[in-house]
Chains A and B, each alone.
Chain A
Amino acid sequence: MARRAAIVAVAQTSFERDKWYQRMQGMAWEVVKPMIDSTGLDFSEERGIGQVVTTSDDIFDARTISDNAMTDVIGAHYRCEEKVSQDGAQAVYYALASVLSGHQDLVMVVGHCKESQAKSRNMVTHLVFDPFFTRPVGLDHLAAEGIQARAYMDASGVSAEQLAQLVVRSRKNAQLNPSIKDLPEVNVEQVLQSPMLADPIRELMTYPVSDGAIGLIIAAEERVPEITDKPVWISGVGNCMDSFFLGERDLVGCFQLGKAAQKAYSMAGVSDPLSQVDLFEISDRHAYMLPQWAEGLGLCPQGAAAWLAAGGPDALNVNLSGGLLAGQPMILGGLARVAECTLQLRGEAGQRQVADAKRAVAHGITGPAGQMQTVVVLEG
């Protein structure tokens, strides 16, 4: 690789059920302003931010080319803006490519989404299915993930009680994460008695409807010293696509995540994630996804049920932020994980800080039942 790239600024809004008081532009400005204030960077042609990579989705935004509405607040007037319409970890992947290519020295990533705008998230994710075979039977993310959850629990032996305990843990951790608003603690009984959404996924086992925005600035190595003394290097990236029809996929295995992780780990020189990584942020859209993706990331070689029983998530510092289960917009799941790892590696994670954190892994998913997965390795 000809050059290296680091995250030199990070900002996020609070994450709430309904930011009725703010438009998406307002949320974006809330993350752009502190980043330019704290770094002193601008959008000038010679030395400024040369490219902005946004991440959002037209259907969630209910606007065609919704990035068209963002040009002003993200500083892209007479500048370059490109939108990654996938999980925000993919925007980090693309921003890294722009810097490594030599084309850009400074790239800003801004992700935003207001899930509260849709009457139901299922109305949006229903449309991911093809109009001929899978849409007519009424599939959406939740239904597909219910099928996956049942298959995974049967295969792994992970119990509903264990999943409920993960929800309890997520909400407990979230109390120490000031960006998570209005997410009360719950107990196992409440989780197991919450309404069934898509068997075996219950209401409290899935991430709540969420609004918010997240921003990062990624800089080429030679620009880093002038901006920050706490750079977070992007040392490995990988992503991989699985097939589409649920019947063609191994819903229990982690073929796509294994490939993505392998690529990211080898690029970062990680041969044993258990000993070489200080914390993991996993996109657990539902409780069952935490152990399933932990398997894919190589965190529980002895099997997930035993790993959970032995307190594996705490031992390996998995999702100390509360994870995606604590509520960020789905499309920002991976970007939120990158932002959390960045805070940890900068020593800015407050009461949830991992002592002496040097290396972190952030994980993002796109599509139904984790069809596509992204892994980012970060180093302080």
Chain B
Amino acid sequence: MARNRNVGIIGIGQTKHSSHREDVNQPEMIHEAVRQALDDAGMTIDDVDCIVHGNMELFEMVFQPDMWHVIGDGSYGKPLLRLTTGGTTGATLVCAADNLVASGLHDVVLAIGFEKLQEGHTTGGITNMADPLWGRELQTGALTGMTADAVIEEFGEERAKNAAMKHRVIMDKHAMRNPNAHRRFNFSEEMIPAMVENVPPLVGELRIVHMCSQSDGACAMIFANEEITKARCDNPAWMVDHITVHREETFNLFGNVEEATTMRYAAEKLFGRNGITNPVEQIDVFEMYDPSSWWGLDWMREFLLLEGDEHLKMVENDEIDIDGKLPINPSGGVVATNPIGATAMLRAAEAAMQIRGMAGDHQVPKPVNLALASGFGGTLWTVLMLLSKNPPQLKEA
């Protein structure tokens, strides 16, 4: 992708995530993340010249919440843009901040994603996404059991169920290292056989611990042009590229249309134009938007351009562990923490934290030069972002 200016990430903040942040209201919660991001960047709000903001309005039933949130996000007297694309919102905000700085219209952009899911009805809200005439009667919110069925059919019941549950246990081990994570169960591998049998199912083999949480939380990131990034930050992360791939609303219910997943499609394009021929070797850490462990497991094959059962083997052989060959979600991922409008931004923020060496107890124990982060939303939409330790070679349009 051509870019007219390089864009660095120099400030990151996130709240403690939980099912009930009853100690704060929405602008106060956002303010926590903004304060941290400014402190991290060594800036005050006066240094910020544009703000991007996003979440899902129908979840909290606040119309254009950026109006109220001005009292917590620091946008008074400044330009602000509000973008919403469902689950991908946080990633869309990262892309937008990159675009706004790269455009030259702004030099320092503060991006804010948040959700306070306790203040609304999430599954009711998501069900309301479906077409009122064609799809709403069939909707189960975000609870989709179809992937579990497909993985079981392909790899057999025992192997598939064990791999999905092992994925979940690895994510929990990572979440135990992340003090901001919402759900931290302290699962161990010995528990897997009992969990496969006994955890209550939601839809088919999608069981309650497989599924992501409903969380309250916010994430803020500060993006700056190359000059400011180099002057103010010793350890920035850089935006290399991003791609957004949507697909039509109707699920391929009868399986009669041959189509690529948006995950594989996005990965092939993004890797192709950035010289990545062997993602598992070249990428040092992957923060993936895994709404459930079945999707997390299944999408590894798509994102990393794997074939056959290579993705299952990576889980079975502990290669996605924090100290494995390609650590996935050292933060604990979305199955641990899911404040929806912030979730996809947290992927980019955590990837940037790994590059910057500031992930604390969940820092990957090897050099991180190239990181991948994904967003998921809508009807299997993908946003894929590539971040690096060194600024990319500029390619003018």
| B58 and A102 within 8 A (CB) | no
* Contact residues, B350-397 vs A (CB, 8 A): 377-379, 395-397
Per a CB cutoff under 8 Å, which of B67, B75, B81 touches A84? Answer: B81
Per a CB cutoff under 8 Å, which of A82, A86, A244 touches B96? Answer: A82
- The answer to whether the Cβ of B76 comes within 8 Å of any Cβ in the partner chain is yes
* Contact residues, B1-43 vs A (CB, 8 A): 1-5, 25
Please give, as numbers and ranges, the residues of chain A lying within 8 Å of B95 by CB-CB distance.
Answer: 82
- The answer to whether the Cβ of A196 comes within 8 Å of any Cβ in the partner chain is no
| B249 and A69 within 8 A (CB) | yes
Per a CB cutoff under 8 Å, which of B4, B63, B66 touches A2? Answer: B4
Per a CB cutoff under 8 Å, which of A69, A86, A256 touches B82? Answer: A86
A76 to B246, CA, bound (A): 6
Which of A121-129, A225-233, A279-287, A309-317 lines the interface with chain B?
A121-129
* Contact residues, A1-49 vs B (CB, 8 A): 1-3
- The answer to whether the Cβ of B196 comes within 8 Å of any Cβ in the partner chain is no
| B82 and A240 within 8 A (CB) | no
- The answer to whether the Cβ of A67 comes within 8 Å of any Cβ in the partner chain is yes
| A82 and B247 within 8 A (CB) | no
Per a CB cutoff under 8 Å, which of A65, A98, A101, A102 touches B85? Answer: A65
A366 to B1, CA, bound (A): 33
Query: What is the CB-to-nearest-CB distance from A59 to chain B, in angstroms, rounded to a whole number?
Result: 5
Please give, as numbers and ranges, the residues of chain A lying within 8 Å of B75 by CB-CB distance.
Answer: 241
| A101 and B77 within 8 A (CB) | no
Which of A88-96, A171-179, A335-343 lines the interface with chain B?
A88-96
Per a CB cutoff under 8 Å, which of A64, A76, A85, A367 touches B128? Answer: A64
- The answer to whether the Cβ of B68 comes within 8 Å of any Cβ in the partner chain is yes
User: Beta-carbon contacts of A82-116 to B below 8 Å, as 1s and 0s?
Assistant: 11111000100110111111110100000000000
Query: What is the CB-to-nearest-CB distance from A103 to chain B, in angstroms, rounded to a whole number?
Result: 6
A259 to B75, CA, bound (A): 13
| A3 and B67 within 8 A (CB) | no
Query: What is the CB-to-nearest-CB distance from B124 to chain A, in angstroms, rounded to a whole number?
Result: 9
Given known contacts A82-B244, A127-B61, is B105 in contact with A241 (CB within 8 Å)? Answer: no
| B82 and A130 within 8 A (CB) | no
Please give, as numbers and ranges, the residues of chain B lying within 8 Å of A263 by CB-CB distance.
Answer: 79
| B83 and A94 within 8 A (CB) | yes
A77 to B243, CA, bound (A): 14
User: Beta-carbon contacts of A49-68 to B below 8 Å, as 1s and 0s?
Assistant: 00100000111001111011
- The answer to whether the Cβ of A131 comes within 8 Å of any Cβ in the partner chain is yes
- The answer to whether the Cβ of B131 comes within 8 Å of any Cβ in the partner chain is yes
- The answer to whether the Cβ of B180 comes within 8 Å of any Cβ in the partner chain is no
- The answer to whether the Cβ of B248 comes within 8 Å of any Cβ in the partner chain is yes
A81 to B262, CA, bound (A): 13
A245 to B82, CA, bound (A): 19
- The answer to whether the Cβ of A237 comes within 8 Å of any Cβ in the partner chain is yes
Given known contacts A58-B57, A94-B96, A97-B105, is B63 in contact with A127 (CB within 8 Å)? Answer: yes
Closest to B92 in A: A82
Please give, as numbers and ranges, the residues of chain B lying within 8 Å of A203 by CB-CB distance.
Answer: none
User: Beta-carbon contacts of B123-149 to A below 8 Å, as 1s and 0s?
Assistant: 001101101100000000000000000
A220 to B4, CA, bound (A): 13
A-side interface mostly: mixed
Please give, as numbers and ranges, the residues of chain A lying within 8 Å of B317 by CB-CB distance.
Answer: none
- The answer to whether the Cβ of B274 comes within 8 Å of any Cβ in the partner chain is no
A102 to B239, CA, bound (A): 14
Per a CB cutoff under 8 Å, which of B4, B25, B248 touches A72? Answer: B248
A249 to B345, CA, bound (A): 32
Query: What is the CB-to-nearest-CB distance from A160 to chain B, in angstroms, rounded to a whole number?
Result: 28
- The answer to whether the Cβ of A306 comes within 8 Å of any Cβ in the partner chain is no
- The answer to whether the Cβ of B195 comes within 8 Å of any Cβ in the partner chain is no
Per a CB cutoff under 8 Å, which of A2, A99, A239, A242 touches B396? Answer: A2
Please give, as numbers and ranges, the residues of chain A lying within 8 Å of B303 by CB-CB distance.
Answer: none
Per a CB cutoff under 8 Å, which of B61, B67, B85 touches A367? Answer: B67
| B244 and A69 within 8 A (CB) | no
A84 to B294, CA, bound (A): 32
Closest to A105 in B: B397
Given known contacts A72-B249, A80-B244, is B4 in contact with A100 (CB within 8 Å)? Answer: yes
- The answer to whether the Cβ of A208 comes within 8 Å of any Cβ in the partner chain is no
Please give, as numbers and ranges, the residues of chain B lying within 8 Å of A255 by CB-CB distance.
Answer: 77
- The answer to whether the Cβ of A146 comes within 8 Å of any Cβ in the partner chain is no
| B63 and A128 within 8 A (CB) | yes
Closest to A135 in B: B62
| B3 and A368 within 8 A (CB) | no
- The answer to whether the Cβ of B100 comes within 8 Å of any Cβ in the partner chain is yes
Query: What is the CB-to-nearest-CB distance from B193 to chain A, in angstroms, rounded to a whole number?
Result: 38
* Contact residues, A240-257 vs B (CB, 8 A): 240-245, 255-256
* Contact residues, B91-109 vs A (CB, 8 A): 92, 95-96, 98-105
Given known contacts A63-B129, A78-B245, A97-B100, is B82 in contact with A103 (CB within 8 Å)? Answer: no
| A102 and B78 within 8 A (CB) | no
| B131 and A65 within 8 A (CB) | no
- The answer to whether the Cβ of B271 comes within 8 Å of any Cβ in the partner chain is no
| A59 and B103 within 8 A (CB) | no
| A241 and B80 within 8 A (CB) | yes
Please give, as numbers and ranges, the residues of chain A lying within 8 Å of B278 by CB-CB distance.
Answer: none
Closest to B266 in A: A78
Among B25, B54, B99, B101, max chain A CB count under 10 A is at B99
| B68 and A85 within 8 A (CB) | no
- The answer to whether the Cβ of A371 comes within 8 Å of any Cβ in the partner chain is yes
Given known contacts A71-B248, A78-B246, is B58 in contact with A59 (CB within 8 Å)? Answer: yes
Among A51, A80, A126, max chain B CB count under 10 A is at A80
A81 to B103, CA, bound (A): 19
Top 7 A-B pairs, shortest CB-CB distance: A102-B397, A100-B103, A65-B86, A101-B102, A80-B244, A127-B63, A102-B4
25 contacts between A and B (CB under 8 A): A58-B56, A58-B58, A65-B129, A67-B84, A68-B378, A71-B249, A71-B378, A72-B248, A81-B244, A83-B83, A84-B81, A85-B64, A86-B81, A98-B99, A101-B100, A101-B102, A102-B396, A124-B63, A128-B62, A129-B68, A130-B25, A239-B81, A240-B78, A241-B78, A256-B77
Q: List 20 additional contacts besides A103-B2, A367-B64; criterion CB under 8 Å.
A: A57-B57, A57-B63, A57-B64, A58-B84, A64-B129, A67-B378, A76-B246, A82-B92, A93-B81, A94-B99, A97-B105, A101-B99, A103-B3, A105-B397, A127-B62, A241-B70, A259-B77, A260-B79, A263-B79, A372-B80
The chain A residues found within 8 Å of chain B, CB to CB, are 1-3, 51, 57-59, 62-65, 67-69, 71-72, 76-86, 90, 93-94, 96-103, 105, 124-132, 220, 237-245, 255-256, 259-260, 263, 366-368, 371-372
